Structure 1
Amino acid sequence: MVCFRVLISGKVQGVGYRYSTKEKAQFLGIVGWVRNLPNGKVEALIVGNHRQIESMMAWFHIGPPAASVSTVEVKEENPQKFESFNIL
């Protein structure tokens, strides 16, 4: 399992980005969390296998239909244990 912290910027708050992220993560079998940040970005911590993470990373660049993603920053982290994927 691998773990990544992801920061997504653009028009990503108020457009269902967190809810859609949770749905996509659950569909792929990824665990972790997603939250809005005060600076207007969305932050996620995702844990899964390489195939799952690759699919999720591709989705982060698109997001839900109402979103307009400008940048996706990724940092590898030490794997953490989660039971599910949550919106914080």
Structure 2
Amino acid sequence: MTRLKQLRFEVFGVFFRQCTVDHARQLGLVGWVRNTEHDTVVGVAQGPEAGIADMRHWLREVGSPQSSIASAQFDETDIAELEHESFGVRRR
């Protein structure tokens, strides 16, 4: 059985909400992402442990072509089942 993980994230100094959605979907992850009034991107990604590890690396080190990542914070936990059906953008 595949071990499922949840990754809560907040990334500072970025411009990449839609690229986050695209990358998460490419990895087969589910969850959401949204911009905040503080010019950060926050979200939740859920899926297999390997996909979560890739997403964490992408959020911290890669980002979109237009991004400038100042810092990233993560909270990772084990979960029993997925709580979302797809990965998308949430509006404020």
TM-score, length basis structure 2: 0.85
Shift of 1:59: 0.7
Q: Which runs of 5+ in 2 are unaligned?
A: none
**Which residue identity lines up with residue 87 of structure 2 in the other structure?**
F
Question: Which residue of 2 is the match for residue 51 of structure 1?
Answer: 50
| Residue equivalent to 2:18 | 19
User: Is 1:64 aligned with 2:68?
Assistant: no
Q: Residues 40-77 of structure 1, C-alpha deviation per residue, up to 9 Å, x if partnerless?
A: 11001000111000111111022101110011100125
Determine the C-alpha separation between the residues in 2 that align with 1:73 and 1:34: 14
Corresponding residue of 2:28: 29
Q: Which residue of 1 is the match for residue 8 of structure 2? A: 5
Matched to 1:2, the amino acid is K
Q: Which amino acid aligns with 1:33?
A: W
| 1:76 partnered with 2:76 | yes
Unpaired runs of 5+ residues, structure 1, are none
Q: Distance in 2 between matches of 1:32 and 1:9?
A: 19
Give runs of ≥4 in structure 1 deviating > 3 Å: 77-80
Q: TM-score, normalised by structure 1?
A: 0.88
Distance 2:56 2:78 in 1: 17
How many residue pairs match? The answer is 84
